Amino acid sequence: PDILKGLQRSYPGYAFLLNTQNTVGAFIFGRDGRSYTQLCPLNADSLESAKKIVRYLLYSLKGKAVVIDIPAEKIDFYNWLISLGFKKQRAFTRMYYKNNLPLTTSENQYAITGPEWG
């Protein structure tokens, strides 16, 4: 999609791919924000793949301030991030109007690009 191409083009140093058994196990992008580096989006075939790619990116950021917006149902991922020292900062409520169907989160989606990206 265009968002991913734009992120990769604008912030190539934050685009990583994790290969597992000749398939994509996870991918993550990132971008510089005003106050933080935003890790987004993150898709992974498992919790372990999500952890592995986040660990790698955090290591490469060497102590920079980082934020990540995760879906509420990713409780195990949330708890793991808390164990690393992340703190819950804000919550989002996705809403829809009239006949628009609610958007559902993919089971492989561990972080969203951000609410401002739609």
pTM: predicted TM-score of the whole model, two decimal places: 0.84
Q: What is the rounded end-to-end Cα distance, in angstroms, of the chain?
A: 13
CB-CB contact of 4 with 29 (8 Å): yes
Q: In whole angstroms, give the CA distance from residue 118 to residue 106.
A: 15
- Is the pLDDT at 89 greater than 70? The verdict is yes
pLDDT digits (tens, 9 = 90+) for 103-112: 556 889 999 8
Strand 37-44, strand 66-68: pairing: parallel
The first and second tokens of residue 111, run together, are 């972080």
